[in-house]
Structure 1
Amino acid sequence: MRNLTIGDLKLALRDLLDERADELRLSATGKLYERRLRAKQKEIDAIPDAAGTQAPLARELSEADVRHDGLGAAIFFLCKAIEAHPALPSALKDAAATAQQTFVPKLEVLRAPYADEASAALDNRPELARLKAELKSTATPGGGSLHDWVKAFVAAGDDIDKLLRRRATLLATGENAAATGPLRGAAVGLLGRFRDALRDEIQEEGSALPSDHEARLFAYIDKLNADRERAARGRAAPEQGAPAPPGPPAVPTAPEPAEPVVLTDPGL
Structure 2
Amino acid sequence: MLTLTSVKLVLRDLLDKRRPDLLLSKAGAYYETDLEEQLAAIEALPPALTGAPLAATLDTLNDTHDGFGAAIYLTTEVYLRLPSAIPSTVEAAQRIRAAFIPQMVELSASYAVQADRAIERKPLLVSMKKDLEHFPLANGGTLLDAAKGFLDAGEQIHYALSDRADVPKAARKQAAQLRSSAVGVLGRLRDDLVREIKKNPALPRDLEAKVFGYLDTLEAMQKDGKTSPPPGSPTGG
TM-score, scaled relative to structure 2: 0.49
Q: Which has the higher helix share?
A: 2
| Larger CA Rg, structure 1 vs 2 | 2
- TM-score, normalised to structure 1, is 0.43
